[in-house]
Amino acid sequence: MKKTHSTSVIKGRFTVTCKYSEINQHDALYKIARSFKGGIESVAQRMGKTVPVMYNKLRPGIMTHHMTFEEATEVIELCIDAGVPDALLPAQAFAWRLGQVLVPVPSLDNVRDEDLTQTVCRAMKEFGDVASGIYDALNNDGKIKSDELEKLEKEFREAIGAMTELRARVRARAGNDAEA
């Protein structure tokens, strides 16, 4: 997915706006670090890095500094602990690039009927979001553009995650029922 750049002139000064892709793991890591309370500066401090080095490691397109897997994982963990929305986005993007899906493992000690019912409803809702997104994209001009595809990718991830959770809950329930 390409990044889109736009340039505008405001009172003789140039403003460059960059839209980052949520399905690119580097862009996603930069996005969540910026969303951390205090921004990249706070992430750098928590990780014991200098601010310029952390900016260079996180900023997409900088080739002189590279984020290690351990550092990327630490950024994600900091963001999860801080409640940053979409903190798992870089891991999801990494998995998606490899044709995989990152799915949270639900706690399945005791699966009740209402848990299964709620999970079925959530899975159907997520599938409906995918179908709605495809319909909207095609209904507009008969094509699926890159920005529409990016929205669909998010909906697909959520739908696959919901179906995987449903499968895990059904399997756990079957195991519990076999033991009873």
Predicted confidence (pLDDT) per residue in 99-140, tens digit:
887 877 666 666 678 878 888 999 999 999 999 999 999 998
Per-residue confidence at 7, pLDDT binned at 50, 70, 90?
very low
User: For residue 7, what are the β-bridge partners?
Assistant: 16
Q: Assess whether pLDDT exceeds 90 at residue 153.
A: no
Q: pTM, whole model, 2 decimals?
A: 0.60
* Distance of alpha carbon 151 from alpha carbon 158, whole angstroms: 11
**Predicted confidence band at 16 (pLDDT cuts at 50, 70, 90)?**
very low
Of the listed ranges 1-5, 27-31, 144-148, the least confidently predicted one is 1-5
Backbone angles phi, psi at 64, to 5 degrees: -90, -20
Query: So what's the pLDDT on residue 62?
Result: 83
Q: Using alpha carbons only, how large is the chain's radius of gyration in Å?
A: 20
